[in-house]
Chains A and B, each alone.
Chain A
């Protein structure tokens, strides 16, 4: 067990390698109840969230979710989050565990008009069933999910229990995130594992979650960005909609967009055994040009992979660089992101930012 934002979570249930392969080949079941779940509702809820967030919720219909940044006035990222529009004036905001209290404080400070904010993290559990076969392997007593589009969600049932079934995830694979009452989630968890056991479904821990999200180049707050990094630097400019009207950080971000970001997030790979770690120097022509933000050994791809924040101008795919590993310079090669494109219908950001 490791401490993760105050929650005890398993790094692995059995083996990170086996769990990682289960997610890529069949499906893995993750307990992500540590993520913060906040409800924003009221006649002013939409206007309030539009003011807080960089992405545009204006066209978001009920039953659809959207990925956004929440930024400071200077454009630094406070958190990245997913907003689910349940009804015209009711939203669920899922935030990072380690940021929940900070986010709530920030959101309360800016609360105005007819909007109420409530922390529902404890009573509503969240599990993620992710993999190319997740859809096919939902247990008996589950709603038909065929018509749920990517980033769409519906109220329904999973293994007989009422659930909010969302076709979202953090692995690059097709699958679901399931909001279930905490007193029923244990039975649903067991039913999914029982149904999927013979097909290779495994419970998956933080290790497999980190490896799969990194292969899909999905950013991890606290590693790949924080309050000193703006969305354009993190390659998330597509989540900033400057034209939607004013929001916190708008002017700073407009200036970044106009002048171009000073740093850029890139992906690279190294030889087996040379695992780049968060904070390691990235070197080119003998000069430090950036810092590793995330790195791991990808069992699935068979070599280590990493993301790094690099000063611009950045490097094209194929460029040879070096990275500090165990006190020496290890050779590395810049590669196109994502490292792996899974079964999710669109796990990856649109190419342009």
Chain B
């Protein structure tokens, strides 16, 4: 998807007007291994940029999730409660995590696919 953008900390965003969908990248899910649980915020919560909004528990480790944007949580992916493995099997589709109503501007340092790929290649070893 051309308009998907990435962070150095392995989240992705898709922006549709003021609505921003947030997930973790395919690289992130492969590094985490099988996801078994996500601790997610309630809708309505206000997130600052880079704020930790939850935790993803994989077999390997618990990892904090950081919001790539500032805004208010408008939806969380309820499917992940019963099927956390969607984060592994479909990280850019059914494994989405949050929808946020954007407050202010998008951060300037979001990466396009090519730039993100370089980040993953650098950290793969």
Query: Do A and B assemble together?
Result: yes
**Chain A positions near chain B (C-beta within 8 angstroms):** 11-12, 15-17, 207, 210-211, 272-273, 275, 277, 296-297, 299, 326
Query: Can you name 15 A-B residue pairings with CB atoms under 8 Å?
Result: A11-B60, A15-B88, A16-B34, A17-B34, A17-B85, A207-B33, A207-B34, A207-B59, A207-B60, A210-B59, A211-B59, A275-B57, A297-B37, A297-B57, A326-B39
Shortest beta-carbon distance from A9 to chain B in Å: 13
Q: How far is the CA of A275 from the CA of B60 in the complex (A)?
A: 10
Check B36 against A275 for contact (C-beta < 8 Å).
yes
Q: Contacts A207-B60, A277-B61; is A326 near B55 (CB within 8 Å)?
A: yes
Interface SS of A by simple majority: loop
Residues from chain A with Cβ under 8 Å of B59 in the complex: 16, 207, 210-211, 296-297
User: Does B62 sit within 8 A of A, measured CB to CB?
Assistant: yes
Q: Contacts A296-B59, A326-B55; is A273 near B39 (CB within 8 Å)?
A: yes
Contacts A15-B34, A273-B36, A296-B59 supplied; 7 other A-B pairs, CB < 8 Å: A207-B33, A207-B34, A272-B36, A275-B37, A275-B62, A297-B37, A326-B55
Give the size of the chain B interface in residues (CB under 8 angstroms): 13
Residues from chain B with Cβ under 8 Å of A296 in the complex: 59
A-B contact count (CB 8 A): 39
Q: How far is the CA of A299 from the CA of B88 in the complex (A)?
A: 15
Shortest beta-carbon distance from A229 to chain B in Å: 23
Residues from chain B with Cβ under 8 Å of A211 in the complex: 59
Residues from chain B with Cβ under 8 Å of A277 in the complex: 61-62
Residues from chain A with Cβ under 8 Å of B36 in the complex: 272-273, 275, 297, 299
Residues from chain A with Cβ under 8 Å of B88 in the complex: 15
Question: Which residues between 29 and 58 of chain B lie within 8 Å of chain A, taking CB atoms?
Answer: 33-34, 36-37, 39, 55, 57
Q: How far is the CA of A210 from the CA of B33 in the complex (A)?
A: 13
Closest 5 CB pairs of A and B: A273-B37, A297-B36, A16-B34, A16-B59, A11-B33
The chain B residue with its CB closest to the CB of A211 is B59
Residues from chain B with Cβ under 8 Å of A16 in the complex: 33-34, 59
